[in-house]
Structure 1
Amino acid sequence: MTIKSVGSRWYKFDFHTHTPASSDHKNAGETETDWLRALMEAEVDCVAITDHVSGSWINRIKATYAELDIAESWYRPLHIFPGSEITITTGQSRVHILAVFDPSCNEATVTGVLGQCGIVQGHGDAEFTSSTKSIDDVIEIIQRAGGVAIPAHIDGPKGLLHNIQNSNQEIERWLKKIEAVECVNLDFLNGVSEELKKACAHLALVRGSDAHKSEDLGGRASWIKMSKPSIEGLKLALHDDTFCVVNGDENPNTLPNLYLEDLSIESMNYCGRVPGKPAKFQLHPLFNAVIGGRGTGKSTFIESIRLALGRDSEISELTHIHDEIQSFKKGVTNSDTKISVTVNRREELYRSIWRHEEPVAIEKYSESEGAWSVDNGDPKDRFHVSIYSQKQINALASNANSLLDIIDHSDQVNVAQWRGDYNEEKNRYLSHERDIRQLENEIKNATHLQAQLYDVNSDIESFEKGGHKNVFNDYQKLVSARQSIEEAGNVDALVDSLLGVESIACHDLSFFGDKELPEDLKQVKDIHGIFIAEVEKIKLEAAGLREKLVGIVKARKESIDDSAWSKNAEDIEGRYHEVVSEYKNRGEEFDPAQYEMWLQTRNRIKEKLGRIEELKDRLEEKKKLSRKSLKNVFVLRRRLQIKRARFIKEVIGDNPYVRMKLLPFSNTKTIEESFRKAIGVEKGFSSSIYQEGQENSLLHKLVEAPKDLSLKNKVKLLDDLKKTVIGFSMGLDIPGVRLDRRLANSLEDKAENQPELFDRFTIWWPDDLLVVEYAKDIEKGKFENIEKGSAGQKAAAILAFLLSHGENPIIVDQPEDDLDNALIYQLIVSQIHQNKKRRQIIMVTHNPNIVVNGDAEYVNV
């Protein structure tokens, strides 16, 4: 990934190199192109050409670089700093000093400096040519020429401090005149005296390859942060080496996954008023400072970004801030205003565009087509950017628990996913409870069914004790047998069929008439005559068969009537009619179907009672599932608390400015409102629900419980509260709790008509409490609750939290308003340095400490 050209970036800088112009170069046949290509392949951004007392290859290198084919696969931009390695002879040894000059300089600059140092011949000689001037003089000559003097390989042979462990006045004088040294071992100061270490404390340590052949170029280098490669940028970086010099091999140029590239404003009342020329504000991917006096448009910058990203509605609960934004829209925008923010998301470009009275639109840039096209989605969801004005920070400080919303929307907590799991389990529990009530209602019918079964059994027993059961059964069998016999002997269909044969009419060939017929037709007529005669015979035979069949049926009936079965049937029928007469004489109507109905009813009741047992089994299973689901609801609620606490520990940890602690189910400020909503009683009954000092009220023990009460005891208090409320809803009297009779009646009525209300109450839990403490005394590590802090201390604590977590862009408007300079440096500057490598930070400020000490990569004025 590469950083845009706007603002500062890190450049890989090789401070010490040699070309064939040096007498000790290892490859005299090396060309300028070979030399440049080696640096480019080593991905060096800046190079100092430091041949021994010579600048003869500087112009050659520059000329070759200007003529390179940028289409070459190995080509990359290179910034060339002319320079030289100057040898100085002291009383005991020879010392090398690197002279580095601006890229705009050339061979003449270096030759002139060498001349001032007394070197007019022997250029390039590594051994014998040296300056006639002192170390002090050479350093001053280089600096007067606009260059930077850097002692070469200071801890190695021919180094300024080679084999030196103690300081003296001369060494301290030399060191005070320079800003940086090249060292072989970055830890070389560990073995020297405290005095020498102190004398070197201000120095920037840099590295150079000291390459004497092209393959060694870039082997050792430093990363220098500059707005652009120049001698002034280098001097500033070396002076501020803590933040602007890195000696690691890893490229410190990093890009966050999401950052704003620019803001564009068209046709605003006081900005972007020239048609076709929108006001454009570039932004760096890392730390940006927006500066200016009061009334110069800093807030316009912030609120324009807020509008373009569709984030103007997210502070609707902060009424006075929301009103200011609405006033801003009315006061500075008009029907033609267009505000656009370019967003880089994982190296893909998007534009979020605001227009008056229109929804915010998103466009995406296609590199292949070189054009923008409409894209889908809401910028609030797709481009998570945190925007905080000073008033928002103050609002957060006055209600620390509102920070939970920020914590919940972090990737670590991910409350959206948690809420989906929680609601799913909660609905599962409510469904189980509905099923349980339905099953219990069905099971309640068992008592009624038992009574019905008793009555039916009594009727059946009475009927059967009179001996009527056998009579009735025999009669029923008789009726069934007669019906079966009659059906088996029924041949009416066959008789009808034979009768149908008799009635079939056969027609003569009358259409021939009486006229003479041809021989062939005469033959047909004779054939038909024979056919008619045969049919008539069959019809006569069918008539005989029908008479015979009728006789057979008659004979069958007579034989059955004379049989023993028929005589027994008469006895059965007689006994049955006697029973009917007996009931009639008693004034009752004997209904044989009634007995059958009793039997059917008994079977039906027994079947239902058998199903009741199944329902009881299902009820027990449902209760098990409900208990499991209830436990899961609590586990999920605890999981949210654990995620919140883990986030606080990871993000805040041992932060010296702010501490946070999550107390589960302990937000007493919202507990009464939340409890009332859970039991469906929004107003009244204060003495029963909660009244300060009223020990018999429902919420007294919870509200008055110590803040450090263990989770186990807090959960027990909650369970006791739920049992108490549900007990009252069932009409029970609960000792130790005084409840208004009207409230008790209301709970009973709700239990009868809204049972699901108490299912939901069972899974009700109070809100968690976020305790925020600020550093009252940073040195002594003393903390106090933020509610007791001053405006500045509150703002410091909240800012420490806001800046310490997340990787999304964060925009803060004038965070210094309530802070003194000590807090600004200790809090804001330190947090900027800790966070700007992983996220884009935009600070709108008029305090120079934030801009300078925070080392802004880019400043918008």
Structure 2
Amino acid sequence: MAETAHTSEMTYTKARFIKCALQVNPADYIRYRGQQQTLSEDEYNQQLLEAALEAGVEVIGVADHGSVAAVDRIRGLFSQHGIVVFPGFEIASSEKVHFVCLFDESTATDLIKMHMGALKVDFEQPEVPVYKSAIEIIDYVNNKGGFIYAAHVTNDDGVLKRRMNHVWKHENLRAAQIPGSIGDLKGVEGDFYRQVLLNKNADYRRQRPMAAINAADVCKPEQIKADGTSCLIKMSRPCFASFKQAFSDPESRVRLNSDRPEHYASAIEGIRFVGGYLDEVDIEFSDHLNALIGGRGTGKSTLLECIRFALDLRPFGQSAQKQHDAVIKANLGLERGRVELFVRSAAMHGRHFQIKRRYGDQSVVLDEEGNVSPHQPHDLLPGLDLFGQNEIHEMTRDRSSRNKLMERFLDGEQADYDATIAEVLQRLKENRESIVKALQQREEIEADVERLPKLQDQARQFQALGLDEKLKVIPRLEKERRLNSRGTDEIDRLREAISGLKESLPDTTYLSDAALEGLPHAAVLRRQKAVLDGLVEKAWQAIVQLEESHRESTQGLAPLKQEVEKAIKAEEQKLEAAFKEIPASQGKTGRQIGAEYQALLQRIERIQPKQAMLQSRKAQIDGLYSRRKKLLLELSEASGDRAAVMQKSLKRLNRRLDQKVRLILTSEGDREPLFAFLSACDLEGVGPKRLAWVKDGDFSAVSLAEKIRTGAAALQQTGWGVTPGVAEALCRLPERKLLEMEELLLPDLNEIELNVTHGGQHVQFRPIDDLSTGQQCTAVLHLLLLGNQDPLILDQPEDNLDNAFIAERIVSELRNAKLTRQFIFATHNANIPVFGDAEWIGVLSVEEGKGRILPQQQGAIDLPEIQHLAADILEGGEAAFNQRREKYGFE
């Protein structure tokens, strides 16, 4: 963890939610409840302090009826333990409506008493309503720099219970206390309270929604631990100024305990530099929205590129990579500087890691104990998005990148179908290879079988010379030679089987003593190992016997083979005598005629068995094609199921995008792979233009292959726009190409459309390719802002974004998304850190040629020093922020 925020108790560098109990009463308040206090004041205060510390309360508001006598003793004790005390009082207006009034932590009790006097509080009977109206009390407290909220608004003395809509709608009343969550009020009094608090009741609608807080009376120390007595206020430091500032933006800065989301996201918790341009910069980031600001050239982009460098991420595109390399070399290279990141990883179940990388070296990941981890940075933050200047724009121009981005946000149910499809495609490939091999073998056999009639006719010519009877032993000898060699083949097959059996024996090393050490059921697992070891031992015994039998058979077969071969050769020698008896003919000696006849008969004998082989091969091919049809059906069904799941997921995703962006998915709609495949086939006389019909069609690759097999006429009758010349060329494709074509899986075609209207205008979507650069980036940014456990880091996103879209859409989404995801932006645009209500704003400056972010230059917009720095730096200084006067707190 970076140490910046821990150098001093008075150093605050980021806003966070602070638990505030805003209606704490002193020891003697219990008498208003008709009860007797059994504790002394000091005992009560001490127990109250201990309970507050246990509950994690950091701010309390002391609000007794008509008395401040106990404030200073509580304030003195609590401040020693870092708890800030806002002094104040509770008051009932002339309409008998109760309010709690709080003031700055440094306000003297005499001044608080003077305020009560000015409001005509009867110090003898302080719980009695004063003669001032609710509006007068609200205005007085605001004019005196205090803060007022409506107490227990749903009780009999509450502003809502009394249906005082004019008081509720008063702009200086910023908060209302309710007993639990807003959801708890559902259906109460016809859902009146909930509708009002949600700002949906027309009679009570406010321009700025009322902040709902929990601040139930605390009159016993242990009560401060209850959720209903405290709420969460986001502040950079616990102080009254930041407290009041929070109610200028309650949607971002005010939470009930029940509303605080569990935070499971990853975060870059800190970054530290050793050497280089940013030497000694040490930052602790917020888990939510972080904004780097500063003049041009101060190092905002450098800092983000150093995060990329440490995480070993590649920028999108060659130009961005070149720029990244140059930035890192210029800012880290000379001094061989080092970047250290402190990371919390959601992928690793919230574990903390440190990532270090020195210029010229690779990244090293250290675990919580400081040991080198086997994980890489990508393993820790697999979903992190980081885009430098103009990278989003570059990505919008690349369709495949847009598709990958879009698919990332689908539910992921298609992954199971992807695995099935990949498996079927692999089986189809194996099937294709088997078919191609079988077809080749069939062609070879057919060529031989086709020669058989001619050979047999030649044999009949020899037989006419009376040779058949004399040389009838020749085909028999050839058959014997073939059968004699078969035995060796059979024995060799067994040898291969024995070798495979050896490799298939169980491996029990996975049940070794080391692997079982410490396991609760190791004894049972050891018994399993004993059974398997017994099997292996018996199998080896059998293998040894098989190998011995194989050797014996090989040895026994060898002399028998030699005996047959010797007998065949003896018979062939006898043929020599028979050849001499053959009369000469056509200029050939009897021996030549006999030798030719012998060779002819041998060829006929070798080919004749292939007639049966040919039938067998045809049956094999028919079986392979039958199997292929089944596989193609499986592929079609899996692809169809995947498409259905994707469409359902897309509908859910579009609902999340809330008509800001619309995503359209055409299943298997990208026909470019089929077009590229046919183009690569070098079809005779067919160029790319003559294949344009492929891109316009909606037929599958399988159906095209089937039509090609049926012939050119059938192709032309499909209505696909295939010309005669193209049809003829396609029909000349070899079967191997048609099989490959069937395995082409066309990708989905994804389209992104942006709603280009502003405000409440009628929705108008426009395709991303028809948008301006800024609108294209806005569309992609809407996707990037969708839920993700890992951070989103952007360098000056406003460079390519329309200001209206930033203000109306992006900022509003940021305010919601930052509750469950970390964002780190470098920006010149005030809308992002100000209206986005950044929890951390860091102001980069340059001192003596080095980039600096000093502790006093870090914080949220509720710190006066950050307010003024932001106003000076962000687009035009304070004058440009007049409309943001209230947000900045300018007087």
Query: Does TM, normalized by the shorter one, top 0.5?
Result: yes
Q: In the alignment, which residue of structure 2 is the partner of 1:437?
A: 436
Displacement after TM superposition at 1:345 (Å): 0.7
The partner residue of 1:227 within 205, 212, 236 is 236
Contact 2:302–2:328, Cα closer than 8 Å, also in 1? no
Displacement after TM superposition at 1:832 (Å): 0.7
Deviates more, 1:622-631 or 1:410-419: 410-419
The partner residue of 2:699 within 691, 715, 740 is 715
Q: In the alignment, which residue of structure 2 is the partner of 1:629?
A: 631
Structure 1 counterpart of 2:21, one-letter code = D
Displacement after TM superposition at 1:395 (Å): 1.9
Displacement after TM superposition at 1:630 (Å): 3.6
The partner residue of 1:305 within 295, 300, 307 is 307
Deviates more, 1:808-817 or 1:625-634: 625-634
CA–CA distance in 1 between the matches of 2:372 and 2:682?
Answer: 48
Distance 1:253 1:623, change over 3 A: closer
Tell me the SS of whatever aligns to 1:291: strand
CA–CA distance in 2 between the matches of 1:229 and 1:66?
Answer: 11
Tell me the SS of whatever aligns to 1:357: coil
Displacement after TM superposition at 1:781 (Å): 0.7
**Aligned: 1:8 with 2:25:** no
Q: In the alignment, which residue of structure 2 is the partner of 1:50?
A: 63
Q: In the alignment, which residue of structure 1 is the partner of 2:251?
A: 242
CA–CA distance in 2 between the matches of 1:66 and 1:190?
Answer: 37
Distance 1:292 1:638, change over 3 A: farther
The partner residue of 1:81 within 85, 93, 100 is 85
Larger relative contact order, structure 1 or 2 (CA cutoff 8 Å, min sep 6)? 2
Q: In the alignment, which residue of structure 2 is the partner of 1:206?
A: 213
Contact 1:152–1:159, Cα closer than 8 Å, also in 2? yes
Contact 1:661–1:770, Cα closer than 8 Å, also in 2? yes
CA–CA distance in 1 between the matches of 2:692 and 2:244?
Answer: 68
Q: In the alignment, which residue of structure 2 is the partner of 1:448?
A: 448
Displacement after TM superposition at 1:689 (Å): 2.8
Distance 1:100 1:456, change over 3 A: same
How many pairs were matched up? 695
Structure 2 counterpart of 1:624, one-letter code = S
Tell me the SS of whatever aligns to 2:352: strand
Displacement after TM superposition at 1:191 (Å): 8.4
User: Over aligned residue pairs, what C-alpha RMSD do you find?
Assistant: 4.9
Q: Which deviations, in whole Å up to 9, do the C-alpha atoms of 1:170-216 show, x marking residues without a partner? A: x489x343322324585655788978514685532322222444454
Distance 1:79 1:632, change over 3 A: farther
Tell me the SS of whatever aligns to 1:329: helix
CA–CA distance in 2 between the matches of 1:648 and 1:472?
Answer: 79
Q: In the alignment, which residue of structure 2 is the partner of 1:558?
A: none
Contact 2:345–2:380, Cα closer than 8 Å, also in 1? no
Q: In the alignment, which residue of structure 2 is the partner of 1:803?
A: 785
Contact 2:315–2:324, Cα closer than 8 Å, also in 1? no
CA–CA distance in 1 between the matches of 2:16 and 2:579?
Answer: 118
Contact 1:156–1:183, Cα closer than 8 Å, also in 2? no
Q: Which deviations, in whole Å up to 9, do the C-alpha atoms of 1:596-654 show, x marking residues without a partner? A: 99999999877655555544443333223333334445556666656665554333445
Q: How does 1:96-495 map to 2 (within 5 A)?
A: 96-103=98-105, 110-111=112-113, 113-114=115-116, 117=119, 121-122=123-124, 127=127, 138-139=137-138, 142-143=141-142, 146-160=145-159, 162-165=161-164, 167=166, 171=167, 175-183=170-178, 197-198=204-205, 202-217=209-224, 218-220=226-228, 221-247=230-256, 249-252=258-261, 254-256=263-265, 258-268=266-276, 270-272=277-279, 278-311=280-313, 313-315=314-316, 318-335=317-334, 336-346=336-346, 347-359=350-362, 361-366=363-368, 369=369, 372-384=370-382, 385-409=384-408, 412-413=411-412, 422-444=421-443, 445=445, 448=448
Displacement after TM superposition at 1:88 (Å): 4.1
Contact 1:224–1:234, Cα closer than 8 Å, also in 2? yes
Q: Which deviations, in whole Å up to 9, do the C-alpha atoms of 1:145-171 show, x marking residues without a partner? A: 64312232234233345423554xxx4
Structure 2 counterpart of 1:98, one-letter code = V
CA–CA distance in 2 between the matches of 1:137 and 1:645?
Answer: 59
Distance 1:233 1:597, change over 3 A: same
Displacement after TM superposition at 1:797 (Å): 1.9
User: What is the TM-score with the length of structure 2 in the denominator?
Assistant: 0.66
Tell me the SS of whatever aligns to 2:204: helix
Distance 1:259 1:632, change over 3 A: farther
Tell me the SS of whatever aligns to 1:50: strand
Gaps of 5+ in 1: 68-76, 273-277, 477-576, 692-696, 706-712
Distance 1:822 1:420, change over 3 A: same
Q: Which deviations, in whole Å up to 9, do the C-alpha atoms of 1:47-87 show, x marking residues without a partner? A: 323232233444444566578xxxxxxxxx88453434433
Tell me the SS of whatever aligns to 1:284: coil
Q: In the alignment, which residue of structure 2 is the partner of 1:840?
A: 822
Q: Which deviations, in whole Å up to 9, do the C-alpha atoms of 1:265-303 show, x marking residues without a partner? A: 2322x331xxxxx21232111111122233332211222
Distance 1:599 1:840, change over 3 A: same
Q: In the alignment, which residue of structure 1 is the partner of 2:743?
A: 763
Q: Which deviations, in whole Å up to 9, do the C-alpha atoms of 1:224-268 show, x marking residues without a partner? A: 222232212221122212222233624336241x21112222322
Structure 1 counterpart of 2:64, one-letter code = D
Q: Which deviations, in whole Å up to 9, do the C-alpha atoms of 1:554-611 show, x marking residues without a partner? A: xxxxxxxxxxxxxxxxxxxxxxx9xx9999597879x999999999999987765555
Structure 2 counterpart of 1:379, one-letter code = P
Displacement after TM superposition at 1:96 (Å): 2.9
Distance 1:736 1:49, change over 3 A: closer
Distance 1:811 1:596, change over 3 A: same
CA–CA distance in 2 between the matches of 1:208 and 1:581?
Answer: 124
Q: In the alignment, which residue of structure 1 is the partner of 2:664?
A: 661
Tell me the SS of whatever aligns to 2:269: strand
Tell me the SS of whatever aligns to 1:239: coil
CA–CA distance in 2 between the matches of 1:826 and 1:809?
Answer: 22
Tell me the SS of whatever aligns to 1:149: strand
Displacement after TM superposition at 1:45 (Å): 5.0
Q: In the alignment, which residue of structure 1 is the partner of 2:810?
A: 828
Distance 1:50 1:396, change over 3 A: same
Q: In the alignment, which residue of structure 2 is the partner of 1:849?
A: 831
CA–CA distance in 1 between the matches of 2:267 and 2:679?
Answer: 42
Q: How does 1:375-774 map to 2 (within 5 A)?
A: 375-384=373-382, 385-409=384-408, 412-413=411-412, 422-444=421-443, 445=445, 448=448, 584=581, 609-634=611-636, 645-646=647-648, 648-653=650-655, 655-667=658-670, 670=672, 674-675=676-677, 678-679=680-681, 688-691=686-689, 697=690, 699-703=691-695, 705=696, 714-716=698-700, 719-720=703-704, 723-724=707-708, 737=723, 739=725, 751=734, 759-774=739-754
CA–CA distance in 2 between the matches of 1:435 and 1:342?
Answer: 55
Q: Which has the larger radius of gyration?
A: 1
Tell me the SS of whatever aligns to 1:299: helix
The partner residue of 1:24 within 5, 12, 32 is 32
Contact 2:14–2:839, Cα closer than 8 Å, also in 1? yes
Contact 2:701–2:742, Cα closer than 8 Å, also in 1? no
Displacement after TM superposition at 1:440 (Å): 2.9
Distance 1:200 1:52, change over 3 A: farther
Paired-residue identity, %: 21
Q: In the alignment, which residue of structure 2 is the partner of 1:788?
A: 770
Distance 1:266 1:40, change over 3 A: closer
Q: Which deviations, in whole Å up to 9, do the C-alpha atoms of 1:783-818 show, x marking residues without a partner? A: 222333223322222222222353321112222234
Distance 1:772 1:132, change over 3 A: closer
Contact 2:421–2:639, Cα closer than 8 Å, also in 1? yes
CA–CA distance in 2 between the matches of 1:594 and 1:194?
Answer: 111
Gaps of 5+ in 2: 7-11, 186-191, 477-573, 585-589, 844-891
Distance 1:155 1:354, change over 3 A: same
Distance 1:58 1:606, change over 3 A: farther
Distance 1:469 1:781, change over 3 A: same
CA–CA distance in 2 between the matches of 1:57 and 1:44?
Answer: 19
